[in-house]
Amino acid sequence: LRFWRELCALAGNAYISDFLHRLRMQSWVFAVPHLRGADDISACLWTGHDEVVSALGVGDFEAARVLIAAYNDDSLTWAERLPR
């Protein structure tokens, strides 16, 4: 959560940053009970944080956008597999 909050703050829009942080907090509250029941939690969590930082560090904003889109897709795919 801290990673995404600080990354979003770089955009310089406190309102959007706070809004997205609240959404992420609610998503995390929803996800935790499901993650606790996972046999292999590493299979449920996205691990591309270093790549996003590296892309931003060299100014490759398109690569960062693609990586963040992959994160969003992974999150949605994980949520779609949850029991209804």
CA 34 to CA 82: how far, in whole Å? Answer: 8
Q: What is the pLDDT of residues 36-84, one digit of tens each?
A: 877 887 777 778 899 999 999 999 999 999 999 999 998 888 888 888 7
**Claim to verify: residue 3 and residue 34 sit in the same structural domain:** yes
Specify the pLDDT at position 61.
Answer: 95
For residue 69, the tally of other CB atoms under 10 A from its CB is 10
The model's pTM is 0.77
Q: How many structural domains comprise the chain? A: 2
**Claim to verify: residue 28 and residue 4 sit in the same structural domain:** yes
Q: Which domain holds residue 56?
A: 46-84
